[in-house]
């Protein structure tokens, strides 16, 4: 036959011989077990499913001509065979069965294995086959490629040798092309579907409401968080208009059309049940022209954003009760009381002189309560100009007064929502604002300066003052109703002079901390100096003690000019101001030695140092004993 002269047949026959193919062998060298075949079928699920309708269509064209339609994988393994009962029996007799390997290494030259090897449609007929058992067939095979152009299988028409026809090969090639097209289409569809799921997952995982609205106000699509943050069901949200959602809809659209950006601005939206503030960003969606046809809106929960901002900016309580230093019994009772009331929602009023640690107690109460992970916002009512306290506390709308930000600003109540608002020096609050403060505490709603919307807030109030608020009420400087509203859980912090036993503890604590922060060595102080500290009146309380320790570390001297005149008399009316620490120490050791007549054991005990240390200091200061 002329076909014997075709180059690919000659080359394939030569390869087959080199593979050791015996023309008399009755079947392929390799036929898979049922388990192996099942694995092949599973791995080629897409190829089989996509090819099935084309195989059926191809078979419908040739079924009256006694042909088999065969599908293989990329290695030439037969995956399935379609044909009538008589043809299937003939195929079985020649071991053309599912699981048979038809690659050239196992079955020699044939339409399936050779087309896969050559990479193009071809026909093998009669004696062109190496195996005699296949020489009664004519086989037209065409490789099938995936979307990347890689061969993934082969489709083949096999019939009796007398039925050889070039049109058969054309039909096979056309079927292979159609299958390849569907494989590419399926891949693109799967990829598109995968990308949609991927994008949906990303968009729905973001803690922001993301939705699009066309320029007429129609809702196009929205992520799941949109319904959560705005309070609508998906059905309700799809039926509303942008004009219904945003009171400033026209202004927003106008800004987008002008090309202006809207990024993280606090605006009001009409929620399903009420009106509330959200943080808004808006972005135009452009088509072919320069005019936007949709707007992408990103809305965030303002309260959650403020909580995050509080974490970043440090609006958090850092002190805890285990950091409060003291062993005085009355002071420990105060700590126990503060712990007991920490979880209460009631207002706490901390009373005490300046420097007694009122804010430390306020923060410790917060950290011992169920609000410990929420904001702790402090406002010193005496440190802010009276004309600004109102806007600081309650916030203001844009343009509420000269110099106000155009987008407005939340007040301390909104920022502290969910947590604690610490109002220090509450006695300094202007009388005219006390009524507004009382109303917010009682109603749990705040209205910004220049605004009309009531914003619900959940804030625990801890107030503090160094004034006698009861006297301020009698003088007409403080509202009686506000005083009683604040004085639900009173907490009085004692001045330092009432807990002298804690002074050595505090002194040691500040000494170590200040020395570390200043990169200095700690300074030892003699017992007599500590007695001076314990008997001092401390008008500045703990803050004054802390400052004194810092001065001692920096100057390495023991100043006494801060002490009361009756305490100075303990130094036999001598005022030490310019003497060094070593001069004072040498003088003190000399006095104690004279007092106890040179008794080293007794003197070292009184000085609180070891005998060897005492001897070294006597030698250092050249003291005669």
Residue 199 lies in a domain: no
pLDDT of residue 568: 40
pLDDT at 1 over 50: no
Residue 87 lies in a domain: yes
Element holding 275 (H helix, E strand): strand 275-286
Confidence of residue 579 (pLDDT cuts 50, 70, 90): low
Do 26 and 127 have their domain in common?
yes
Do 354 and 412 have their domain in common?
yes
Q: What angle do CA 413, 378, 515 make, to 5 degrees?
A: 160
pLDDT at 110 over 80: yes
Name the percent of the chain lying above pLDDT 70.
92
Do 147 and 180 have their domain in common?
yes
The set of residues, in sequence order, having a beta carbon less than 8 Å from that of 336 and lying 6+ positions away, is: none
pLDDT at 186 over 90: no
Tell which residue, 138, 88, 89, has the closest CA to residue 110. 138
pLDDT of residue 386: 78
Do 53 and 159 have their domain in common?
yes
Do 401 and 510 have their domain in common?
no
Do 53 and 134 have their domain in common?
yes
Tens digits of residue pLDDT in 336-352: 999 999 999 999 999 99
Please give the mean pLDDT across all residues of the chain: 87
Do 52 and 120 have their domain in common?
yes
Give buried/exposed letters for 336-346 (b at 16+ CB in 10 A, else e): eebeebbeeee
Task: Give me the number of domains the chain comprises.
Answer: 5
Domain holding 132, by residue range, is: 2-188
Domain-ending residue, one of 476, 494, 512? 494
Average pLDDT over residues 395-402: 74
Tens digits of residue pLDDT in 39-56: 999 999 999 999 999 999
The set of residues, in sequence order, having a beta carbon less than 8 Å from that of 220 and lying 6+ positions away, is: 211, 212, 213, 214, 294
Q: Which range, of 11-15, 225-229, 377-381, 476-480, averages the lowest pLDDT?
A: 225-229
Residue 454's CATH number: 3.40.50.300
pLDDT of residue 562: 52
Q: How far apart are CA 22 and CA 103, in angstroms?
A: 14
Residue 200 lies in a domain: no
Maximum distance among all Cα pairs of the chain, rounded to whole angstroms:
138
Residue 510's CATH number: 1.10.8.60
Question: 372 in helix, strand or coil?
Answer: coil
Residue 195 lies in a domain: no
pLDDT of residue 401: 67
Domain-ending residue, one of 494, 509, 544? 494
pLDDT at 317 over 50: yes
Contact 398, 447 (CB under 8 A): no
pLDDT of residue 567: 40
Do 392 and 437 have their domain in common?
yes
Do 476 and 341 have their domain in common?
yes
Q: Which range, of 163-177, 195-209, 411-425, averages the lowest pLDDT?
A: 195-209
Tens digits of residue pLDDT in 273-312: 676 778 888 999 988 777 898 999 999 877 665 665 555 4
Do 527 and 584 have their domain in common?
no
pLDDT at 573 over 50: no
Confidence of residue 565 (pLDDT cuts 50, 70, 90): very low
Q: What angle do CA 602, 608, 611 make, to 5 degrees?
A: 60
Residue 196 lies in a domain: no
pLDDT of residue 608: 79
Do 484 and 340 have their domain in common?
yes
Tens digits of residue pLDDT in 7-43: 999 999 999 999 999 999 999 999 999 999 999 999 9
pLDDT at 559 over 90: no
Q: How far apart are CA 74 and CA 76, in angstroms?
A: 6
Q: How far apart are CA 251 and CA 242, in angstroms?
A: 12
Tell which residue, 451, 388, 393, has the closest CA to residue 421. 393
pLDDT at 576 over 50: no
Q: For the whole model, what pTM was predicted?
A: 0.53
pLDDT of residue 353: 93
Tokens linked to 621: 């200061």
Question: 321 in helix, strand or coil?
Answer: helix
**Phi/psi at 123 (nearest 5 deg)?**
-125, 135
Residue 614 lies in a domain: yes
Q: Where are the alpha helices (DSSP H) in 395-464?
A: 412-415, 431-443
Q: How far apart are CA 423 and CA 461, in angstroms?
A: 7
Residue 406 lies in a domain: yes
Do 500 and 488 have their domain in common?
no
pLDDT of residue 399: 66
């Amino acid at each position: 036959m002329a076909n014997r002269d075709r180059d690919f047949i000659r080359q394939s026959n030569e390869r087959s011989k080199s593979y050791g193919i015996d023309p008399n062998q009755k079947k392929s060298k390799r036929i898979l077990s049922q388990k192996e075949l099942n694995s092949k079928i599973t791995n080629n699920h897409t190829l089989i499913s996509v090819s099935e309708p084309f195989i059926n269509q191809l078979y419908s064209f040739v079924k009256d001509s006694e042909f088999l339609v065969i599908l293989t994988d990329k290695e030439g393994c037969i995956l399935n065979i379609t044909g009538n009962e008589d043809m299937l029996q003939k195929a079985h007799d020649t071991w053309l069965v599912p699981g048979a390997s038809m690659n050239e290494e196992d079955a020699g030259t044939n339409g399936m294995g050779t087309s896969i090897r050559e990479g193009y449609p071809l026909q093998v007929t009669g004696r062109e086959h190496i195996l005699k058992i296949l020489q009664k067939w004519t086989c037209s095979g065409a490789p099938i490629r995936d979307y990347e152009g890689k061969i993934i299988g082969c489709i083949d028409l096999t019939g009796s040798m007398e039925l050889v026809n070039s049109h058969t090969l054309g039909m096979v090639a056309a079927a292979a092309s159609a299958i390849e097209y569907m494989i590419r289409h399926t891949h693109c569809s799967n990829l598109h579907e995968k990308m949609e799921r991927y994008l949906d997952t990303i968009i729905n995982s973001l803690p922001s409401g993301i939705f699009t609205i066309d320029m007429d106000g129609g809702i196009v699509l929205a992520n799941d968080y949109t319904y959560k943050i705005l309070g609508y069901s998906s059905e309700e949200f799809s039926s509303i208009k942008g004009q219904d959602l945003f009171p400033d809809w026209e202004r927003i659209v106008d800004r987008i059309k002008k090309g202006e950006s809207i990024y993280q601005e606090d605006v009001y939206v009409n929620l399903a049940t009420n009106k509330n503030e959200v943080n808004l960003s808006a972005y135009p969606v452009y088509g072919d022209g320069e005019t936007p046809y949709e707007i992408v809106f990103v809305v965030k929960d303002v309260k959650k954003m403020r909580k995050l901002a509080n974490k970043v900016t440090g609006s958090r309580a850092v002190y805890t009760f285990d950091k409060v230093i003291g062993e005085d019994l009355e002071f420990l009772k105060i700590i126990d009381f503060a712990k007991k009331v920490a979880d209460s929602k009631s207002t706490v009023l901390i009373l005490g002189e300046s420097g007694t640690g009122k804010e430390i107690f306020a923060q410790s109460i917060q950290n011992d309560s169920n609000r410990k992970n929420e904001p702790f916002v402090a406002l010193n009512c005496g440190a802010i100009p009276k004309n600004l306290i109102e806007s600081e506390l309650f916030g203001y709308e844009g343009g509420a007064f000269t110099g106000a930000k155009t987008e407005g600003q939340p007040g301390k109540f909104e920022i502290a929502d969910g947590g604690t608002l610490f109002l220090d020096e509450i006695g300094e609050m202007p009388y005219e604002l006390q009524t507004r403060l009382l109303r917010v505490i009682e109603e749990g709603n705040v209205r910004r300066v220049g605004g009309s919307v009531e914003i619900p807030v959940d804030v625990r109030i801890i107030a503090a003052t160094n004034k006698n608020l009861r006297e301020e009420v009698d003088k007409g400087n403080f509202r009686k109703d506000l005083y009683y509203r604040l004085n639900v859980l009173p907490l009085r912090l004692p001045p330092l002079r009432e807990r002298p036993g804690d002074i050595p503890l505090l002194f040691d604590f500040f000494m170590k901390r200040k020395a570390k922060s200043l990169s200095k060595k700690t300074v030892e102080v003699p017992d007599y100096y500590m007695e001076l500290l314990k008997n001092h009146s401390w008008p500045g309380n703990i803050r004054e003690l802390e400052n004194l320790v810092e001065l001692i570390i920096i100057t390495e001297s023991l100043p006494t000019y801060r002490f009361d005149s009756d305490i100075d008399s303990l130094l036999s009316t001598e005022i030490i101001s310019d003497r060094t620490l070593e001069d004072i120490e040498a003088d003190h050791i000399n006095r104690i030695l004279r007092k106890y007549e040179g008794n080293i054991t007794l003197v070292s005990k009184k000085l609180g140092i070891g005998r060897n240390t005492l001897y070294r200091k006597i030698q250092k200061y050249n003291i005669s004993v």
